[in-house]
Chain A
Amino acid sequence: MKSMVKKTLLGLGVSAALMGATVAQADIKIALAGPVSGPVAQYGDMQFIGAEMAIEQINKAGGVNGEKLVGVKYDDACDPKQAVAVANKIVNDGIKFVVGHLCSSSTQPASDIYEDEGIVMVTAASTNPDITLQGYQMIFRTIGLDSLQGPVAGRFIAENVKPNRIAVIHDKQQYGEGIATAVKSTVEKAGYDVVMFEGITAGDKDFSALVAKLKKNNVDFVYYGGYHPELGLILRQSKELGLQAQFMGPEGVGNKDISSIAGAASEGLLVTLPPSFEKDPKNASLVQAFKNKNQDPTGPFVMPAYSAVQVMADSMKATGSTDSEEVAAYMHKTAFSTPIGNVKFDEKGDLTSFNFVVYNWHQDGAKSEAK
């Protein structure tokens, strides 16, 4: 017993020494939380390069209130358990500003911790509506919601595609199921029947049974709510097993990897994505800055992540403070001009307006606007 107490005291001493080390630096730290590893790390990269570019440019322009911003990466691997561990680590490291997390299922549990600890969190990628329904004051996002994206997809299906038999498939995760449900209710409101509404298991590799079932139900349109590793395999197996159907997915599938997984089967896939901010002439110099570093500015979360950092930095400058509560209060009542356009948050921390656009995906990983 005695030795245990000794060990605990020793442990406390060590952690206090470590904490002392982090507090001693004058820089303003911003935690960048998202998947560095795991199956959706590509999206993490988009978020990281966007946020790091913003930090670099703000520092080059003199920093914030005379201090430099420092980005610290945390890997949650898009795993809710690891996201909670990361959030606790950020609290322990004394960081007050977070850009992230990426996956809605990670953001949700992490946001509870940030709210309790008074940490400002801006996610550039989590689109599940539930995240901002808790009445939290510290949680924001610089991306649209599934409840916006779903109806855009649903309306496009009803007005442009006009399929005969629709199936809606999802991966049972918060993001995928949320968006799939929104699509289902939109097309049903437009007078279409959804003949199949089913979940699959994320990480699964064999979808031949599902494809056979889609074929049997004579489905000619499939909406998939989820991420690219599963949809890529579904597309590939559909082609091999002779299913003739048009596929569509949310921005979680809009990634070059879907083309390498599905190959020719990814040609013509419909994807709803945030508008191509990199095509906006106002962002030309920023796009050039990414290109100079050999980075790809076209990913859907790059500009939202840049904007997330910028909004926080602007608020710190305007309030002249790095007090997170003060910054959050300022963010709630101010409009910002960012690469994703004018950003204004509502009382929930969501953007007051955000557009999604439907694109045609091509097998070389490029995309073009769908008509």
Chain B
Amino acid sequence: MSDSIYYFIQQIANGLTIGSTYALIAIGYTMVYGIIGMINFAHGEVYMIGTYISFIVLAGLTMLGFDNVFIMVGLAMLVGIMIASAYGFTIEKVAYKPLRSSKRLIALISAIGMSIFLQNYIRLAQGSRDIAMPSMIQGGFLLGDPDGSHILISYMQVIIIVTTVICMAGLTLFISRSRMGRACRASAQDIGMTNLLGINSNNVIATTFIIGASLAAVAGTLLGMYYGVVNPYVGFIAGLKAFTAAVLGGIGSIPGAMLGGLLLGVSESLTAGYFTAEYKDVVAFSLLILILLFMPQGILGKPEVEKI
């Protein structure tokens, strides 16, 4: 009995870990959609670039002889956030801003083009092979009998979940308390009106892209360290999963993206754990279809006028 409970908790922990990172990336999709009503398909690539940057920084620091893991990871994350934000900002300025007044579909094609461009640019710059990094944080918390049934949650999993919670809390505070957060919420409701009221919507949109890119870079650093490998294609699958999470939770809604990410992660890990890993994606996407059938706006989304 206790054996199966341990197993269940273990799988939930695994699911929460992967789900938190989906949630971090999903925020970028959902915020951009909430404000300008388009899907930023290049967002997954920003995550991938964040992973590369953190790898490069970690490798550089190791070569310089640093040995404090927390300082190294902190620095890697910081540099990752800065450079990924610059990418997010530039992507918006180059690929979306000139098209803002055109049809949504045109911006969507521009987004897909941007995604392909970034993927191939990294492929040419960094090579198409997996780049690996040794695990820096080993070990974990063990609950139960080490030789019998037990739960093992690695420190890395704990770090991922805790960092995600901190980021989410920070973001919620920012959106609900700060001036810029209020401007974001106002723009999500009616961007034309906020412009008339003297809020520079260009700044709001740029901020949105920077926040999304920063969270993607955090996810990139964490997942890069957790898995230890990166290649130019990781952004595509991660982006797709995060986009699914955003839709599942209700695109445009920030708590929805968090919930959607966790739900997707846990459903994947429970499918792999109790059914078979082969059908993990099948179940995750069936869940998406089912939820959208009964709740077309997603779990926490508000019904709204069609924007696309």
Using a CB–CB cutoff of 8 Å, the interface residues on chain A facing chain B are: 37-39, 41-42, 172, 198-201, 203-210, 212-213, 216, 229, 232-233, 236, 240-242, 257, 260-261, 263
Contacts and interface: CB of A to CB of B under 8 A. Distances in A.
Nearest to B14: A208
The 5 A-B residue pairs whose C-beta atoms are closest, nearest first, are: A209-B272, A208-B14, A199-B278, A209-B269, A260-B132
Contacts of A206: 14, 18, 227, 268
B277 A240 contact: no
Given A41-B128, A205-B223, A257-B129, A200 B278 contact: yes
Nearest to A243: B152
Contacts of A198: 276-278
B15 A39 contact: no
Contacts of B140: 240-242
Nearest to B224: A205
A174 to B, nearest CB: 15
Nearest to A211: B14
B67 interface: no
B201 to A, nearest CB: 37
Contact of A213 (B17, B157, B231, B272): B272
Nearest to A203: B237
Contact of A241 (B128, B152, B280): B152
A240 B132 contact: no
A78 to B, nearest CB: 11
Contacts of B142: 242
Nearest to A42: B129
A216 B278 CA distance: 18
Contact of B227 (A38, A203, A233): A233
Contacts, number: 99
Contacts of B18: 206, 208
B268 A209 contact: yes
Contacts of B272: 209-210, 213
A208 B272 CA distance: 9
B interface majority secondary structure:
helix
A209 B14 contact: yes
Nearest to A199: B278
Contacts of A260: 132
Contacts of B154: 240-241
A212 B273 contact: yes
Given A209-B11, A212-B11, A257 B278 contact: no
B62 to A, nearest CB: 14
Nearest to A265: B135
B285 interface: no
A37 B233 contact: no
Given A198-B278, A232-B229, 20 more contacts: A38-B128, A41-B128, A41-B129, A198-B276, A198-B277, A200-B278, A205-B223, A209-B14, A209-B273, A213-B273, A216-B3, A229-B130, A232-B132, A236-B135, A236-B227, A240-B154, A242-B140, A261-B130, A261-B132, A263-B228
Nearest to A259: B132
B264 to A, nearest CB: 12
A282 to B, nearest CB: 33
Nearest to B130: A229
A242 B144 CA distance: 13
A212 B10 contact: yes
B135 A201 contact: no
A208 B130 CA distance: 20
Contacts of B138: 240
Contacts of B302: none
A209 B277 contact: yes
Given A41-B129, A240-B154, A261-B130, A172 B14 contact: no
Contacts of A208: 14, 17-18, 157, 269
Contacts of A212: 7, 10-11, 14, 273
Contact of B228 (A200, A236, A241): A236
Nearest to B120: A37
Contacts of B228: 233, 236, 261, 263
B100 interface: no
B98 interface: no
Nearest to B142: A242
Contact of A209 (B15, B128, B231): B15
B7 A37 contact: no
Contact of B130 (A39, A172, A216, A240): A39
Contacts of B227: 205-206, 233, 236
A257 B130 contact: yes
A205 B273 contact: no
